[in-house]
Structures are given as C-alpha cells and as structure tokens.
Structure 1
C-alpha cells in the first residue's frame, strides 16, 4: 500500500467519522430537547398533584388506624 493510498484511506475514514459524529450530535440534541420537555411536564403534573392534595387535605387521612 503506497503512502498516497494510505492517505486517501485515512481521509475517507475521517470524513465518515465526521459524518457519524454529526449524526450522533443531532440525536443527542433531539434527546435533550425531549428530556427538557418531559421534565417540564413532570414538574407541571407534580404541581397539579400537590394542588389537588392541598384542596382535599382535610378529607384525606394518611395516618394508619390505631390497631397498627
């Protein structure tokens, strides 16, 4: 294998790796956006659950019965 052939092969591999890194970066970026969205939704659901719990707190008895 000549030096020129080796250089061409290395450049080809480098180009392929650059494309792969870019694709992986796109996937990671999309996943981060999805994680951020899920975290916002979870926070909103937790707030709603807490609001409901506060509204019905007098009626909810979380203490175990005396025989426990």
Structure 2
C-alpha cells in the first residue's frame, strides 16, 4: 500500500511539472501572438498610409480636362 501511494505521488509530481511546463509554453505563445498582432496592425496602418499618399500623388498628376 505504501509503495502504491509513493508511486501515485511520484506520478502526480511529474504531471504537475508537465502542466507547469505546458503553461509556460502557452503563456509565452500568448505573448508572441499579442506582439504579432501589434506588428500586423502597424503594418496595416503603414500600407493604408502608403496607399493614401500614392492616391493623393496621382491626383496631382492628372492633366486638366482641356488637354
């Protein structure tokens, strides 16, 4: 009985360690995901600004209608 209890405690200890390791990985990945979301948001803003600037530049290069 005592050996069985010791075996269960050992297994529980390994499982707790595994759960902690998995939690650490998930926590790190969540941080990575949040950083990537911020980067994508910044890239979208930069692309929109570039498109807006390009469209404004094209409007200035349009010849007058009498040409």
Aligned to 2:44: 46
CA distance in 2, matches of 1:30, 1:48: 27
Higher helix share: 2
**How far 1:40 moved relative to its partner?**
0.2
User: What is the aligned length?
Assistant: 58
Superposition misfits of 4+ residues, deviation over 4 angstroms: none
The correspondence of residues 1-68 of structure 1 with structure 2, limited to 5 A, is 3-58=1-56, 59=58
What is the CA-CA distance between 1:57 and the residue it aligns to?
1.6
What's the C-alpha RMSD, in Å, of the aligned pairs?
A: 1.4
1-structure distance, mates of 2:55, 2:41: 20
- Provide the C-alpha distance between the structure 1 equivalents of 2:55 and 2:19, rounded to a whole number of angstroms: 52
Gap runs ≥5 in structure 2: 59-67
Q: Normalized against structure 1, the TM-score is what?
A: 0.80
Q: TM-score, normalised by structure 2?
A: 0.81
Match of 2:62 in 1: none
